[in-house]
Amino acid sequence: MDHAAAPHPDGGLAAALDDIRGSERALCVTAWVTLPERPGEYADFPSWLDPRIVKVLRARGIERLYRHQAEALEAVREGRDIVVVTPTASGKTLCYNLPVLQATVSDPATRSLYLFPTKALAQDQMDEVHDFITALGLDLKTFTYDGDTPPAARRAVRAAGHIVVTNPDMLHTGILPHHTKWVKLFENLSYVVIDEIHNYRGVFGSHVANVIRRLHRIAEFYGSRPVFICCSATIANPLELASTLTGRKMVLVDKNGAPSGPRHFIFYNPPVVNRELGIRRSAVLEASRLAQTFLRRGVPTIVFARSRVTTEVLLSYIKEALGEPAGREPEGRPSRVRGYRGGYLPSQRREIERGLRDGSVQGVVSTNALELGIDIGTLEAAVITGYPGTVASTWQQAGRVGRRTGESAACLVATSRPLDQFIVTNPEYFLGQSPEHGLIDPDNPQIRSLHLKCAAFELPFVDGEHFGDEERTPTSRLLGRLEAAGFVRHVGGRWHWSADAFPAESISLRTADADNFVIIDTTDPQPRVIGEVDRFSAPMLIHEGAIYLHEGRQYHVDRLDWEEQKAYCHEVDSDYYTDANFAVEVKVLSVELGPGGPAEDAGSGPGPARTRTAEGGLPRYLGEVSVTAVPTIYKKIKFHTHENIGWGRVNLPEQTLHTEAVWFTLPPEVTSGLASEEVQAGLVGLGTLMANVAPLFLMCDSRDIRAFTEVRSPFTRLPTVYLYDRYPGGIGLARRLYDLSAAVYRAALRLVEACACSEGCPSCVGPAAEVGPAKPATARFLEAALREDETP
Amino acid sequence: MNRPLPSPDAPEGRAGACDPAAAGTVPSLQEVLPGRRLETPAGPCYHVRWEHPLCFRYGAAPLKEALTVSGRTLAVLGRDESLEEVTLARACFMDTETTGLAGGTGTYVFLVGVGWFEGDLFVVDQYFMEDYDREPSLSPPSRRTSEGSRQW
């Protein structure tokens, strides 16, 4: 181990970077980019800022504002809606806290609503505002209002909260449908703060935009017109996203005035350990070594892992190497290196966040849960284990470190996945890539209808009232459909909610089911809950026989009670961990539209090939499918060597998603003359490409649709590409894709032809290493699709 | 897991649950429930009055037994000391029916019933919301009665 060369346990970041440069690991660095130091740009406190607020700021060592903060303050004071886009640690929260506090101090009747994407962020922000208010010494009340708020406290929050901190889901189900209990808030609502708006992309974002439309209606009913203050991480189109999300014209504040020290971005490819097979050393082991190098030099470090299991494995390696207590922690000696991920209990997470801020925790291993703006103080080094999948997310993780002065470093450690290998061997591709777009479509017919129901429940619609884009579909027509279905009743010039159901309750803004499985440790006579796992992850993490890792400790899962959603486990000391496999299958349930339009007989498989030329393109279908994910086996993987030392079966019910899909088949004349590997590569390439391009046309996020390919589909008996909505019942994306397929083919073909790569890259058909050289076959399929498409 | 979403493209003009005309001939409210339309400042509502002799029994006990319940018993059952002062003979009883149990602003009160003892009768006034736009009409009569000479 090369840290033996460093006699001093300290030495800081510069010494740690020298350790890397001076060891054999320097050979693994494929690029080392240093972003230069940036001086700060400042502005004085505006003269109108309350002296009490100025005093608190001064007491915290803030003598003046950054330029973007001052700009934000002035714009909000003029009553304009703004979106602030600056990196983490640029003092973004003051951009909304100062205007809100100023207004509340001058008029205590002022009410504000803060929306955060997660409960953890809401809690974090609540603490920050609360500290500020305490320092002001004023009687202003700030509360979080979410699923964790005890019923007894809710009345007080509703009546007395000057600042109510919540999430869009709670606004949707808990606040808007009960607005009469929130009269004080809505009558005086002056500011709505929406932080981390880059999270509200795709279908989730389209839902949230409709929740905001409902908020506008209710605010207007009570006579208020709040100013919107939005914040976003770096994305390609923050102004557009914020405007569509809030339905307001926004002012963009993006000239970052915060200074930053020099930042290193290191691309790291683990060494090849088997030249014949091209096998590289595990990214987890390399990330662990790099993290140790930083931590031994006393550098506060965050390590990002792509999964919960990796998080725990990395944590145990790092703790063990640094001689930190593993297993049960002795009293009075909490570990300086901690894990952080979904599934830890909220109190445990708060404790770790506090530890990071006050320095008692020096290293943290986290999933992307810490990618968001939770305040974890100033860290200096980030080790990113595996490419996070998007440019924006990578910068966001790298941005968790960085100081106003002095150096910081982020190190991206590639796994052997083709996408990672592409990024690490083509760093200029990553550096030249603009961050992703945040795309939403609030006028998606299904999403808009769902929220129209919620809105009608909240307040009857008056004739002539608009909800969304009138040109796409008039609101009155949508209401008419709801009346025909028995949901509303049109009488006396108003549309009244007339069903006995509570609509918001059955409409989830997110894909994920909210229900959790709890994990119960039965080691001691008094069993205790140690963590939780969401329904989707349960088959992977807590099946019987699994080694469940929690904060570096190991638990053997003895029994999983699927009905009761409980897993019983006991603490063990094992030399392996487990990793479960899934098999995914798409089954066609019914065909609604075939190549020539409505399918005559849903059960008869593909329509006659002859109809294709009438409609054009590759034969395409729209219908209902079931996507099943079946946990099959789990592998036992030895710590450190990562050898596979055994396996077991997972006996759990399959998870089924019934949804809508569009699928395309390749008829024999399109594939003739191609070897089966070429067909396979081209098919996968076509799927990847369509899934990459389609979101631009559907205004959704790449998470919202999935591609699935079969070289010989049991249903169509031909090579087939399926694209399905990742939402139960479908959300209309596949349906729209069915109509737009020619435009998507054209864009896809342009992309393949224009892409400078030779055999395939993540921007087009996928990395060649993953699918084989797919480009020529994919291009051929697309040309065939378009040629026929253009035949009259 | 599978939660089917209603299709926004559902054919229009389908006979809906709220369209009695489509279900054939519907008897008038008057035929089903003898009462009269009551004009209130907030619009009309439908009013029915019932008068029950005190021996009337709906369930286990005859109505007159209510008159024997002491204020003390009410205070214990209702966990409210102030009920000790209440005499049921002079009390006003009220109940509502709503379009849903989940609560929230889209739930309507469609029926308000107000009852009291009067001589050897128990009188019940029922106020019915004839359509969704008539909900406001239910509150003035119920308020008038409950704020009258009776307790509460």
pLDDT in tens, chain B (152 residues): 333 333 334 333 333 344 444 555 778 888 888 899 988 888 888 999 999 999 999 889 999 999 999 999 999 999 999 999 888 998 889 999 998 877 788 899 999 999 999 999 999 999 999 999 988 888 755 445 444 444 33
Q: Which range of residues forms the domain containing residue B99?
A: 36-54+88-147
Predicted pLDDT at A452: 96
Residue A582's closest CA among A519, A531, A634, A509?
Answer: A634
Residues 6+ apart with CB under 8 A from A22: A5
Residue A255's closest CA among A62, A108, A527, A71?
Answer: A71
Residue A301's closest CA among A235, A385, A223?
Answer: A385
For residues A578 and A309, what is the distance between their CA atoms, to the nearest angstrom? 9
pLDDT bucket at A241, cuts 50 / 70 / 90 = very high
Q: The tokens 């809508």 sit on which residue?
A: A660
- pLDDT of A478 > 70? The answer is yes
- Using DSSP, how many helices (H) and how many strands (E) does chain A show? 25, 33
Chain A positions in Cβ-Cβ contact with residue B18 (cut-off 8 Å): 483, 486, 489, 498
Chain centroid offset of residue A760 CA? 26
- pLDDT of A310 > 90? The answer is no
For residues A732 and A451, what is the distance between their CA atoms, to the nearest angstrom? 15
Contact A413, A384 (CB under 8 A): yes
Domain presence at residue B123: yes
Domain presence at residue B77: no
Complex ipTM more than 0.90, yes or no: no
Predicted pLDDT at A333: 62
Own/partner contacts of A236-239, CB < 8 Å, gap of 24 or more, are A236/A434, A236/A435, A236/A436, A236/A437, A236/A438, A237/A437, A237/A438, A237/A439, A238/A83, A238/A85, A238/A197, A238/A198, A238/A438, A239/A83
3-state helix, strand, coil in chain B (%, to 5): 30, 30, 40
* Burial of residue A398 (number of CB atoms within 10 Å: 0-12, 13-18, 19+): buried
Q: Which residue of B has its CA nearest to A218?
A: B105
Q: Do A498 and B18 touch (CB under 8 A)?
A: yes
Maximum average pLDDT range among A105-109, A635-639, A740-744: A105-109
Maximum average pLDDT range among A105-109, A436-440, A604-608: A105-109
Mean pLDDT, residues A565-570 taken together: 91
Q: Do B2 and A486 touch (CB under 8 A)?
A: no
Contact A247, A216 (CB under 8 A): yes
Mean pLDDT, residues A512-520 taken together: 71
Residue type, B124: V
Q: Does B17 touch chain A (CB under 8 A)?
A: yes
Domain presence at residue B124: yes
Q: Which SS3 state, helix, strand or coil, does residue A22 take?
A: coil
Domain presence at residue B70: no
Beta bridge partner(s), residue B98: B109
Domain presence at residue B99: yes
Q: Does B1 touch chain A (CB under 8 A)?
A: yes
pLDDT bucket at A601, cuts 50 / 70 / 90 = very low
Mean pLDDT, residues A140-149 taken together: 87
3-state helix, strand, coil in chain A (%, to 5): 40, 25, 35
List, as ranges, residues 77-136 from B with C-beta within 8 Å of A: 99-106, 108, 131-133
Q: What is the number of structural domains in chain B? A: 1
Domain presence at residue B2: no
Q: Do A501 and B100 touch (CB under 8 A)?
A: yes
Residue type, A482: L
> Which of B9, B12, B106 is nearest residue A497 as measured by Cβ atoms?
B106
Q: Which residue of A has its CA nearest to B11?
A: A481
Domain presence at residue B50: yes
Domain presence at residue B8: no
Phi, psi of A311 (to 5 degrees): -55, -50
Q: Do A658 and B100 touch (CB under 8 A)?
A: no
